[in-house]
Amino acid sequence: MQFIETLRELESLFQAGFERNEESLDEFGKTKSTQLKAYLVESNLPINNIPCPTITDIWHKLESSNWYSIRDASSPNSLFLDTSRGRIWVLYSLMDAQKSDYLINKWVKDTRCLDKCWLSRNQLLHWENLSNGWIERGIGIKFSDGLSPEETAGNLSFKAWYGVNRNIPGLSSLIQNAKNDFAIASTRWQKRSEDGGSLSVEWYSNGKVTINRATNVDEVLMWVGEMADRYTESLMHATDLRNSNMGAFEIDFTQGIDLDAFSDTVSKGRGNMNLWLIEMEKSPDFRRYKGVDLHTWDRILLDVGLDYVYLTVPGDGCINAAPRLAVTQGEDNAGKAAIYHDGEEVFA
């Protein structure tokens, strides 16, 4: 098989997949080719210090670009990495969803100094503020009570795909109430252009996007890149705020936190929070911790109340711990989350 060697060849590969799916939709009403997926990844090290997701492979730089291919023999021309933004990478995958998610999740979890980009509700809803044709087509709400024992845990999880809300009485208010109280785990958006082209995407809070439908590869790369740019800017801004006064990040939630279950989780370094902490102070409505962020093994300090968290990242520690904690706790047991630093909302 001939491997992709240039960015132009890569764009042609993506475009061919979009066109095959459009033809298949017209003829059979469903897509034929594997849908393109992209994962936003935060790295604290340059690429030559980070292993490939497939472990046995090496990075192959595409000609005259900051892009790399991963030439896995079992899935050739299926994984490509855009490192043009420096710290925030975009990994594109043409593998099937199950294999792709497993591989990327394991890669990030097992590699020190890699983390996902944890998208806040404002980032997931970013497209509604644009005036260039984006329409919200669906939303995913998640509340898994992940800190509690399985036999007593409560769960709420639903995805709603919708069109014209006014044709379904009560739907708009139901969706708005859910947005106000619970964490948003995903959003689906559609954009139609004047030339008849269509772009349909689903963004997830763990930094993944699935391209459900597209007609133009340049448009896809531009809109995925915009989210990566927004996250890059948010991370840099939050880091500058931390460096200016070394203050804490305040994370506010709409639902209560089970403090005993939280302590049990972080003391064992379990779960997507990726924190390993020691409890220093304890009262019925408050806990104080110190420990490390397992992402980079930097020190962190944490104060946790019934519906808030104060996170202090000393020295040169990675600020990505703030959105990770906000998103994972918001979805697991604490509802809608917002992050502030000295009264200014960040990662918004």
Q: Does residue 101 lie within any of the structural domains? A: yes
Question: Which of 58, 90, 116 finishes a domain?
Answer: 116
Count of C-beta atoms within a 10 Å radius of residue 133: 12
Q: Does residue 153 lie within any of the structural domains? A: no
Identify whether the C-beta of residue 224 lies closer than 8 Å to the C-beta of residue 90: yes
Count of C-beta atoms within a 10 Å radius of residue 252: 17
Q: How high is the pLDDT of residue 95?
A: 92
Question: Which of 87, 116, 145 finishes a domain?
Answer: 116
Question: Which of 90, 116, 142 finishes a domain?
Answer: 116
Mean pLDDT value across residues 129-154: 70
pLDDT tops 60 at residue 146: no
Q: Does residue 182 lie within any of the structural domains? A: no
Question: pLDDT digit string (tens) for 176-222?
Answer: 887 787 888 999 998 877 666 688 999 999 999 999 989 899 999 99
Mean pLDDT value across residues 148-168: 65
Q: Does residue 146 lie within any of the structural domains? A: no
Token output for 287: 């806990």
Q: Where are the alpha helices (DSSP H) in 111-216?
A: 121-124, 171-181
State the burial class of residue 208 (Cβ atoms within 10 Å of its Cβ: 0-12, 13-18, 19+).
Answer: buried
Measure the CA–CA gap between 8 and 77, rounded to whole angstroms. 14
Q: Does residue 292 lie within any of the structural domains? A: yes
Q: How high is the pLDDT of residue 73?
A: 67
Secondary structure letter of residue 45 according to DSSP:
S
| CA-wise closest residue to 124 among 191, 184, 84, 53 | 184
Token output for 179: 């947005």
- How is 242-309 classified by DSSP, letter by letter? HHHH-PPEEEEESS---HHHHHHHHHTT-STT-EEEEEEEEETTEEEEEEEETTTTEEEEEEEESSEE
Q: Does residue 150 lie within any of the structural domains? A: no
Q: How high is the pLDDT of residue 321?
A: 94
Of 180 and 166, which is predicted with more confidence? Answer: 180
Residues in a beta bridge with 92: 38, 80
Measure the CA–CA gap between 214 and 192, rounded to whole angstroms. 10
Residue 194, amino acid = E
Q: Does residue 209 lie within any of the structural domains? A: no
Residue 324: give its domain's CATH number. Answer: 3.30.160
Q: Does residue 299 lie within any of the structural domains? A: yes
Question: pLDDT digit string (tens) for 223-280?
Answer: 999 999 999 999 999 999 999 888 899 999 988 888 888 888 888 877 788 999 999 9
For the chain, give me the number of helices (H) and strands (E)?
7, 18
Highest mean pLDDT among 7-21, 59-73, 291-305: 291-305
Contacts of 177 (CB under 8 A, 6+ apart): none
* 3-class secondary structure, 147: coil
User: The domain containing residue 105 runs over which residues?
Assistant: 7-116
Identify whether the C-beta of residue 116 lies closer than 8 Å to the C-beta of residue 169: no
Specify the number of domains making up the chain: 2
Q: How high is the pLDDT of residue 331?
A: 80
